[in-house]
Structure formats: structure tokens, C-alpha cells
């Protein structure tokens, strides 16, 4: 399970609010896509690339 830090939650809300000023639908979709992507880490915690 991904545990979101308070600053990360705040950033996600800010992303939502910024996009929502143009489209509430896409704001919700973008946030949901981010949440879905982070949820993949539960099943595949070593996915992704190594930072140099």
C-alpha cells in the first residue's frame, strides 16, 4: 500500500484544482489515473527504472 505524505496529498489536490478550473471531468480523471498508477506498486513494488 502506498502511504501518501501530507505534502503529496496537497500537491494532488492542487493538481486537481488547477485542472478543474477548465474541466472537472478531466481533473477527476487525472487524479484517478495517478492513484491507479501508484496502486500498481502494491503488486509490483520493484517496477520502474533505477535512478542513475
Q: Is pLDDT at 20 greater than 90 in this prediction?
A: yes
| Distance of alpha carbon 47 from alpha carbon 38, whole angstroms | 11
Q: Which of 7, 18, 10, 12 is nearest to 38 (CA)?
A: 12
> Which position has the higher pLDDT, 1 or 26?
26
Q: Which of 12, 11, 15 is nearest to 35 (CA)?
A: 12
Domain ranges in the chain are 6-40
For 24-50, the pLDDT digits (tens) are 999 999 999 999 999 998 889 888 888
Q: And the C-alpha cell for 37?
A: 498508477
Q: What is the pLDDT of residue 2?
A: 85
User: Is the pTM here over 0.95, yes or no?
Assistant: no
Amino acid at each position: 500500500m502506498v502511504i501518501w505524505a501530507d505534502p503529496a496529498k496537497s500537491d494532488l489536490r492542487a493538481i486537481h484544482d488547477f485542472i478543474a478550473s477548465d474541466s472537472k471531468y478531466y481533473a477527476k480523471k487525472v487524479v484517478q489515473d495517478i492513484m491507479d498508477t501508484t496502486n500498481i506498486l502494491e503488486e509490483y513494488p520493484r517496477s520502474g527504472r533505477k535512478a542513475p
